[in-house]
Structure 1
């Protein structure tokens, strides 16, 4: 019998415990339900345009909550869900403190795995960035003040935008002016060994092609790499290693381990105007 595949000495149930946030936070559904309810209240309270198409895919849509004043910075949030689940509609509440401070906010959806490969999802996020840059003024924003944040798989997708050669596409090399990456997974090899990969369909080649080691960020903007201090040790290590890579590549990099927040509770903090994580998001935008 062949040995179970391993990653950095982790295999089987030990690997599952490190890389399955729903095992690490067994009350995850209560968080998701509360966040979805809070997000619904936000959409009821904020003026905005929902499900604005930025591409041909059925889920290539944005919920846009404009600032009250024109020429505002534009902040795009990319949701997680291991590339195969969840939706922007769970996280509308993240827009509330940002809009209140003067930002136009876009909540980004994308077509999910296994319908799309991770490479295909990365390409869709790039389409979203191009759309927001081209249409910023129509939504009350400034195309020269475009910022990204993401949680979990969304943090990976935001980080992948820093590896892209935008100038080769005829766009500003620094089209993205700042990134906040929260509790991300940046090396994808362990995901191929998880039970959830039956839903994701991630191959070893796709994992290697879309890991940040193979797509190092370009030194075009500052980045905050944040992770919940209550995440599992190897999940935290991935964030610490990615922050080291960013510094090595010349990005102005902050690295934060935040309290005892776990993979789901940290999203609550992203909707709290006075939390240091939100204040850092605003500071990147000069707000």
Structure 2
């Protein structure tokens, strides 16, 4: 078994709910806070819903507009994109817009990506859908009014994995030639915030989590940031935040620490933090809190005024 764990120990290490009394409490918080944020945006006509970024019924996103629209076309608002977690098999954009109001209040566009879930899609297909979503957002920036050169990405758990997978992406396969430089190099994601993610999928194949995923050895290697080839920061300049809650399993913490080491060796500037009094599920809710360390680190990453005095 992986790293000498027994089967039951491995399942416990990769079951985030083992650290909390009732996971439903946190899922309900996602649902309720997202409902409030979306209803507020709908009432103020500050959200565009169900924009189809590809040809599948699941490939939709919601785009939240800043509270205060600027008229200065030379200084367009920036875009923060959120990828939800749920072990690639649960949740959707509807439970994942809880941070929208906070970003809108700080003059940001905020997009939430929906994607197909296992077992209806393989992990490779899920990764591809998120790449298509990011490419669509880049190429439609002028139409919707945000800065094409100021796109940032955040994700929680499986969403953190998907966010980091974007650093293993050859965007020349997704972006129209008109945007590419003469040397063929191209990158547009300026920052990533990865919270409580899994970056080596090897142990997942040995747990109950793999039942809907059915990961093959090839798919594990292809979709594991810690195993696959990642571009250097010189080629793909991007600031990264890696974080998790202090009340998480040892394996979730170790995976983030391993990612920190790899990113640092590749030259990426990384802000790293274990956040106290947080678990795997509520740590990401800090994105909705203007006074939190996590949200203020994202503001720094985006070169925006801090919310915290």
TM-score range, shorter-chain basis?
A: over 0.9
User: Following TM superposition, where does structure 1 have runs of at least 4 consecutive aligned residues deviating by more than 6 angstroms?
Assistant: none
Number of the residue aligned with 1:163: 168
Deviation of residue 209 (structure 1)?
Answer: 1.4
Judge which range, 232-241 or 46-55, deviates more: 46-55
Counterpart of 2:92 in structure 1 is 87
Deviation of the 1:270 alpha carbon: 1.8
| 1:27 maps onto 2:22 in alignment | yes
User: What does 1:85-124 correspond to in 2, within 5 Å?
Assistant: 85-124=90-129
Higher mean displacement: 46-55 or 61-70:
61-70
Q: Which range moved further: 159-168 or 273-282?
A: 159-168
Partner of 2:292: 275
> Any gaps of 5 or more consecutive residues in structure 2?
71-75, 181-185, 305-309
Distance 1:215 1:93 in 2: 33
Residue-by-residue CA offset, 1:54-90 (whole Å, 9 max, x unaligned): 0112111111101232511111000011111111211
Name which of structure 1's ranges 35-44 and 167-176 shifts more when overlaid on structure 2.
167-176
Partner of 1:3: none
Q: Is the partner of 2:298 in helix, strand or coil?
A: helix
C-alpha displacement of 1:255: 1.2
Aligned to 1:159, the other structure's residue is in SS state helix
Q: Which residue in the other structure is 2:51 paired with?
A: 52
Aligned counterpart, 1:132: 137
Q: 2:33 pairs with 24, 30, 38, which one?
A: 38
CA contact (8 A) 1:247 1:253 kept: yes
| Matches of 1:31 and 1:183, distance apart in 2 | 15
> How far apart are 1:101 and its partner, in Å?
0.5
TM-score normalised over the length of structure 2: 0.88
The match for 1:18 is 13
Q: Distance in 2 between matches of 1:196 and 1:167?
A: 33
- For 2:229 and 2:87, how far apart are their aligned partners in 1? 19
Looking at structure 2, the residues matched to 144 and 107 of structure 1 have their Cα atoms a distance apart, in angstroms, of 18
Q: Secondary structure at the match of 2:272?
A: strand
Number of the residue aligned with 2:224: 211
* Deviation of the 1:168 alpha carbon: 5.9
Mean Cα displacement is larger for which, 101-110 or 115-124?
A: 115-124
Number of residue pairs the alignment of both structures matches:
282
Would you say 1:286 and 2:299 are equivalent positions?
A: no
1:188 is aligned to 201
Q: CA deviation at 1:17?
A: 1.0
Cα distance, 1:174 vs structure 2: 2.4
Distance 2:142 2:303 in 1: 18
Structure 2 distance, partners of 1:22, 1:187, is: 19
**How far apart are the structure 1 equivalents of 2:262 and 2:209?**
27
Pairwise CA RMSD:
1.4
When normalised by structure 1's length, the TM-score is 0.94
Question: Which residue of 2 is the match for residue 65 of structure 1?
Answer: 64
